[in-house]
Amino acid sequence: MRTEPPQAPRLLLGLPSGVSLAILAGLSLAASALGRLLSPALPGSATGLESWIYHTNSVAALMSQVVAAGGIAFSLRAVGVAMSKAALGLTYRLVMFPATIVTSALVIGAAGRVLTPEQNGALAVVVLVAAALSTPLALHLPETRAIGIVLGLTFASSSFDLAAKRLALDASESASYVMFERATKLATVALVFEVALVATALTWLSRRVKGRALLLSAISVGITIAIAWLLRLDLSGSAATAQVIVGRAAGELLRGPQPLAPAALRLTIEIAGLVTAVTALVLSRRVPIAPVLSLCLISRGAVDMPLPALLLMVASVAIPARLFGESSVRVQAESP
């Protein structure tokens, strides 16, 4: 008889439903880049781009539907597995099951129509509660502790960001300077948590690529400088079409409410988050839990939108579903 070493939680590679977290995270990153950055940047940037706009919107819509279907299938299967794990606790199971159902229903509803602000707010609250419940569970074991920290920071930054957006909207409707000032302060707190989130993810990944945090940081800063240069050309009126599109896409990353921080810092953090998310996907074969980190980075600051909210729900249910209740040691008969 021989005893094999403990194995990593298999859920992080995919559930029996056939949905791979690495593939889901990769498609999510592509859909986010097309739908949230490129599609809004193309219209009005130049003439003769009608076909590009049409094809970009079509591809973005298709990829979003695929991600939504995969994310819903993963979440429902994962929460179904978690329901049988008594070690997860009654509170977790009573809250996570309806939270997953509500999230799935709202995401499906968003495929046919635009959600109301109240529905978007309810969606954000549901997934934030799920992230808050899953964070202590992810912190339970050393193997998933870093993901637990990332998930907790995602919860904190997204919570303050949501509060800032809602307060800024109320301030615009009532023309209240005091409320808008409070929204700015909340957005600044959200940015601080986001800096901590990206720094934690970058540090954890760098330990798995032999300490190349400096290289990843240099790439992020280099991309930021290049985009800043393109933005300056755009403002000067001498930019080409591609430069205008990149500048507008960068503007989508800096949507309000504005925190008490320079735009260059915000842009650097956004680019660093994207670079870190891509790095996590590249390392997914060596580090099976890396796709969960990528999902957190993609969803940050936008949990009031259907697709990012679903991604945070997927990240929240991924680890706990098989973290408890499974034996990590197998005993096999040895050949004579």
In this predicted structure, what is the pLDDT of residue 334? Answer: 31
Between 106 and 111, name the one with better pLDDT.
106
In this predicted structure, what is the pLDDT of residue 105? Answer: 92
Mean pLDDT of all residues in 52-56: 72
Q: Which residue is it, tokens 């896409």?
A: 249
Token representation of residue 301: 């600051």
Q: Is the pLDDT of residue 96 over 70?
A: yes
In this predicted structure, what is the pLDDT of residue 153? Answer: 94
Predicted confidence band of residue 212 (pLDDT cuts 50, 70, 90): low
Between 148 and 209, name the one with better pLDDT.
148
Mean pLDDT of all residues in 30-48: 69
**Do 92 and 116 form a contact (C-beta atoms < 8 A)?**
no
Between 20 and 9, name the one with better pLDDT.
20
Q: Is the pLDDT of residue 165 over 80?
A: yes
Return the minimum-mean-pLDDT range out of 37-41, 68-72, 75-79, 304-308: 37-41
In this predicted structure, what is the pLDDT of residue 15? Answer: 43
In this predicted structure, what is the pLDDT of residue 196? Answer: 93
Mean pLDDT of all residues in 187-196: 92
Mean pLDDT of all residues in 46-55: 66
pTM of the model: 0.82
Mean pLDDT of all residues in 120-128: 92
Highest mean pLDDT among 33-42, 97-106, 276-285: 97-106
Q: What is the pLDDT of residues 234-272, one digit of tens each?
A: 544 555 666 667 666 666 677 777 888 887 788 888 888
Separation of alpha carbons 291 and 166, rounded Å = 30
In this predicted structure, what is the pLDDT of residue 323? Answer: 63
Q: What is the pLDDT of residues 298-324, one digit of tens each?
A: 988 788 888 999 999 999 988 876 565
